[in-house]
Copies of this chain bind each other. A is one copy, B any other.
Amino acid sequence: MATIKEVAKATGVSVATISRVLNNNGYVSEETKNKVIEAIKELDYRPNEVARSLYHKQSKTISLILPDITNPFFPELARGVEDIMNDHGYTIFLGNSDEKANKEERYLDMMEQKHVDGAILATNTLDSNHLKTLKKPVVIIDRSINSDFPTVCSENFHSSQDAVRHLKEVGCKVIAHIEGPAHITNSVLRKNGYIEVVKKESWFTDEYIVNGHYNDKDAYQATLTLLKNHPEIDGIFAGNDLMATGVLKAARNLGISIPEQLAVIGFDGIRMSEITSPELTTMAQPIYKMGETAAYMLIDLIEQRPLRERYYKYPVQLIKRQSTNVQNQSIN
């Protein structure tokens, strides 16, 4: 790979002039400019971004730290981030934290050492003080920790109420909830939304809340025992779609028909929810768009433009599908 010196030598001018041509600033005569451009083409020269980064202390690079790219929610989010970032000339580092503080920390350290310009975090086990010491722009996505950080999330609390109400509307009498991990904000909000709607019901006890850890296998197991112990359950609100697929599977294995005997609603609106059988009713977040928004925000922060909003809370949309399509809806 050619360097700027070689281009300078080939053109017979100084490196400063080459740099001026490259960056289109300062004065360069038309003639020299053409010669330089010629030489650049000839030598297939492209500036060394590392050298540029060293000088500018920025790298046109951002970090995207997710819990686990293998969880189908995150690829959609990542794609939204990537598409926008790429349009704006940024490349992205991907890191899976597995919700572990030490992994998160390692990535954030790396980010400082490699002069990453900013980060989008869809994971947070660190306290916000640690984040502040970074002195690099950070956008929190999907979870909110602290109003000090620009955040993109969606309306979890009220949407969860909508989800549970939808189950009621289709005639469910006893509604259970498969909750996600207790340390994840949105998981708690979803549970609280559920509780808000059912707390005054005579049947309600917290036995109707079981933990599925935001994954299908745990949700499957949890649902299995839940439904065995409580055959009276005729509606389940799963804290995310992945867990809802576990619920569908558990019901199937127990010979419980969906939606006739048990209506199921999920949360997230991942693509997979269209693929299950029966197709899954869900509270759909605008996942891709959330990724895009986070990317736009981060770019504004990096390039020192004022943010239009520091906090986006997107509305969530009820998408009715087969899993709650009970025939005899409660018109009775």
Contact = CB atoms under 8 A, between A and B. Distances in A.
Interface of A: 1, 46-51, 53-54, 59, 61, 64, 68-70, 72, 74-76, 78-79, 82-83, 86, 91-96, 107, 109-110, 112-115, 216, 245, 248-249, 252, 271-272, 275-278
18 contacts: A46-B109, A49-B113, A50-B54, A51-B54, A54-B54, A59-B114, A61-B93, A69-B69, A69-B82, A72-B72, A86-B95, A91-B95, A91-B114, A93-B93, A93-B94, A94-B94, A252-B277, A275-B276
A92 B95 CA distance: 8
Contacts of A50: 50, 53-54, 59, 114-115
A276 B110 CA distance: 39
Contacts of A277: 248-249, 252, 276-278
Q: Name the 9 nearest CB pairs between A and B, nearest first.
A: A277-B277, A94-B94, A49-B113, A69-B75, A245-B275, A49-B114, A50-B53, A70-B75, A50-B115
Chain copies in the assembled complex: 2
Contacts of A113: 46-49
Contacts of A114: 49-50, 59, 61, 91
B94 A78 contact: yes
A112 B78 contact: no
Given A54-B54, A94-B94, 5 more contacts: A59-B114, A72-B72, A92-B94, A93-B93, A249-B275
Nearest to A133: B44
A215 to B, nearest CB: 10
A276 B277 CA distance: 6
Contacts of A245: 275
Contact of A69 (B46, B48, B79, B112): B79
